[in-house]
Amino acid sequence: MSNTQIPQNYKSLLGLYDTQKAIGLIKTIFQEKLCAALHLKRVTAPLFVLHGSGLNDDLNGVERPVRFDVPCLEEEAEVVHSLAKWKRYALAKYGFRPGQGLVCDMNAIRRDETPDNLHSIYVDQWDWERVVTEKQRTIPFLKDTVRDIVDAVCATADELRWKFPELKKVRLGREVTFITTQELEDMYPTLTPKERENEITRLHGTVCIMQIGGKLASGQVHDGRAPDYDDWTLNCDILFWHKALGCALELSSMGIRVDADALRRQLEEAGCPERAQLPFHQMLLNGQLPLTMGGGIGQSRLCMLLLGKAHVGEVQVSLWDEETRSTCEAAGVTLL
């Protein structure tokens, strides 16, 4: 059964040719602004890592990576879910110093994703990471970085509107509303986490939801987060209200990464202390990796947001079930 729903009377603001042109511009302009704002250098990143290295992002801990054998190495490899851990390893290997960082194009396959208007089994994002000091592992520093990213998004939208006047209907708010998952639960105790996100973003337009992964007062979690990359007390999601779909669009998952103490604590809380023996985790516990912060910013998500698109298939090429294709065709929505 398809999870795709096309809003009534939806019509793409740009035709197919201009959509492709605009996608190229967005990816060029935004990366330049992001690098300038966060002092990042572009690096080349892997599509796959060795199974058992501990470098793959485990997401919520239940998603299966695409795995294949590599006969010449007598090893198995996994297509990355994201580069959350690899980036930290790369910062150490390349000798980046505090205040410096990297960004890379990340392409992934998430086989267990449930496709809908916003989700696909193909994921493309800007994965970034930068070295921080112990004194910068704070909520105020996290908030300042979020504001820098939102400014880069809005500045990209401004440039795009000059080139495509049809996009003047797409308006984003630069002012960010910050709220923790516990404050959100206290505000909307009867709603589900996703309903809470939609309600707060509908009211404020641009929202940063902080402290994701740990248990709330109710005993529930707002959303799953792997225990070995973000510090659950210092992480967040950035959401924008997406007018075309009438819902919150999560553009970025990011945070200040675990130090040794946070890693031990979160592995215990998640019930997987054995992960501490993996090579990446041993490097972190032995002080061989720098303190960092970082995140992923969805490339297709950003294109959807800035172009006012109703389906992610309008800005990326993926696989869709027959019902989704039929639904989109009947609504005049062109899937790439």
Q: Tell me which residue has tokens 């990143």.
A: 45
pTM of the model: 0.91
Contact assessment for residue 245 and residue 8, using Cβ atoms and an 8 Å cutoff? no
Q: Determine the Cα–Cα distance for residues 121 and 289; give it in Å rounded to an integer.
A: 31
Higher pLDDT pick, 293 / 280: 293
The pLDDT tens digits for 154-209 are 999 999 999 999 998 888 999 999 999 999 999 999 999 999 999 999 999 999 99
Sheet architecture: strand order including 75-79: 48-50, 75-79, 67-70
Tell me how far apart the alpha carbons of residues 59 and 40 are, in angstroms, rounded to a whole number. 24
Residues annotated as part of the active site: 57, 110, 125, 237, 250, 253
Average pLDDT over residues 260-279: 90
Question: Are residues 276 and 267 in contact, defined by beta-carbon separation less than 8 angstroms?
Answer: yes
Average pLDDT of the residues in 139-154: 97
Count Cα neighbours of 72 within 13 Å in the Cβ-side half-sphere. Answer: 0
| Pair 309, 315: CB distance under 8 Å | yes
Tally of CA atoms within 13 A in the half-sphere of 84 that contains its CB: 25
233-247 confidence digits (pLDDT tens): 999 999 999 999 999
In sequence order, the β-bridge partners of residue 250 are 239
Instruction: Round to whole Å and give the CA distance between 198 and 200.
Output: 6
Q: How many residues does the chain have?
A: 336
What pLDDT band is residue 65 in, cutting at 50, 70 and 90? confident
In this model, does residue 318 exceed pLDDT 60? yes
Strand arrangement, sheet containing 101-109: 40-42, 101-109, 122-131, 292-298, 247-257, 230-242, 206-210, 177-180
Q: What is the pLDDT of residue 51?
A: 83
Q: What is the pLDDT of residue 58?
A: 65
* DSSP label at residue 171: -
For residues 205 and 76, the model is more confident at 205
Which residue, 67, 87, 85, 86, is CA-closest to 77? 67
Residue 1 pLDDT: 56
User: How far is residue 191's CA from residue 185's CA, in Å, rounded to a whole number?
Assistant: 8
> Which is more confidently placed, 40 or 49?
40
Tell me if 279 sits within 8 A of 85, measured CB to CB: no
Residue 236's alpha-carbon distances to 230, 245, 270, 277, in angstroms, are 9, 23, 18, 27
Tell me how far apart the alpha carbons of residues 249 and 5 are, in angstroms, rounded to a whole number.
15
Range in 129-143, 183-197, 211-225 the model is least confident about? 211-225
